Chains A and B, each alone.
Chain A
Amino acid sequence: MKNLELGQIENMLEKQGYIGSGSIAMSIFLAMQLEKPLLIEGPAGVGKTEIAKVMAKALETNLIRLQCYEGLDSTHALYEWNYQHQLLFLKMQESRGEDVKKLEETIFSDRFLLKRPVLQAISQEKRPVLLIDEIDRADEEFESFLLEVLSDWQVTIPEVGTIKASQKPQIILTGNRTRELSEALRRRCLYLWIDYPDFEKELAIVKTKVPEIDANLGEHICRFMTELRQLKLEKTPGISETIDWARALATMHLTHLDKKVVEDTLGVVLKDWQDMRHTQDALSELLEKTGVTSRIG
């Protein structure tokens, strides 16, 4: 993976349909230049994971994803022996009367090694993008283990030996701040915060992702979403919900929003019944702020 200039990064994001900002391009640029992991935090659905996908696509390299969850341990992140296959193999060879020492060498070889994301990432020939998604959901013990791997870039498998990374993967870590990450991890990363987009940025995203959408409808949707996020909702909708909604309404060949359309399709945007009820109560006001009062019917 070659290092790109700042302008090239901006072009790369644009080409992949990712409407970013100067801060995002700068963080990616520095992460690549300094070969440091990039820690991205922000509310759900603002495009944190998308950055890793776009990077892998633009750099024509593999994206390896490690989805974190409570209880995730090193066997799920590094490697595991395929015991079932080893057992079957042993039983088959036993009947043929194979030499035990030779058998042992075979069963602890690459053939029976299940490479998990971190090992996969360090054993790739071309520098991949390793996405460690929702790191804050993993336990602190796993975070410490990860720090160790990330600092040495090598993994020791007792039966095989030490595997050292030929090229450091480009690491993107994302988090929703369900718990505070350790200072040690933060120190090792560059930091990027992504918030909900403003109206102009969201409109540009909608136009890029749903090019078939009517310009007027696109504007209405984005204005509505901006106002909707001002309500105190249980689950504030992100950009992904805006895109889903825009796609749904574009499929229906609509050219503007009205009260009935919003009521009928609100389930695409909101995923909590109390949020639905709260929004329905405030719908007239929301539409008025969105600027579509005259069309309420």
Chain B
Amino acid sequence: MISAFLNYDFLQHALWTGVMVGFLAPVIGVFIVVRRLALITDALSHITLTGIAFHLLLAQTFTFLQLYNPLYMGMGFAVVSSLLIEKLRRLYTAYQELSVPIMLSTGIGLGVVFISLADGFNNDLFQYLFGSIIAVTEEDFLAISALTVIVTGLLLLFYKELMFLSFDEEQAKVNGIAGRSINTMFIIMTALVIASSMKVVGILLVSSLMTLPVAAAVQLSKSFKQMFFYAVMIGECSVITGMLTAFYLDVSSGGMIVMTSLFILLIVLGFRKAAGMPARLLKRREPSAEFE
């Protein structure tokens, strides 16, 4: 089955792009989930759609724009709004999550205006909403390859600092960690990963690829490092299974990927329950042995 899949050049691009997205999205997702900012991915993905719609609208008047990939405009929008989110997050320290609905509504509002100005939905936009592996071009493939190398490198180099900031931002700053610049770098990476996952999983579903594998990994891991291992394993399983089934069943790849990761999450939850370790037991406190 897979060998037939690999006979088509365009499907190979799609598959390798999917494998990269299946790695990037959960890895970034681990940091986002532990920071309790899972919904940020939704805000950023909607803003990406706004950028894409803006590009398609402009391209109607400035035809030379049709030569360019609208994804870049989406990435631009996502990066700018990620910086705004970071700014809002500092403004509302006690209600950090408020930054998310503010950007989410901005994104949807603007997006709807652009789409209606461009005379409604066309086929292109539909691909971005739900993802389509057939739509992955060689250019997308190359752009995402470059992004994978950069993001992986940065995450390895700044792993310590990102972990500390996610665990306890204030303490990390007291220890002299440059919180502001590292947070900014991280949110930009998040925006870029979200924008580039668009073709494979679609705007409405990017956030699920960033959160569902992590939700399952939380149940399985004993340490922070293990979270990455499990999240990536589950992410890759979901992407590969989802893409293959989507191709053979001729349905949307994004939908199949999300259904697979949801299925894995349910198995993990069921497995934990069967093993007599329901999730809430993780929270149980040890009998206290204080400063003895």
| A and B associate | no
Interface positions of A (Cβ within 8 A of B): none
Interface positions of B (Cβ within 8 A of A): none
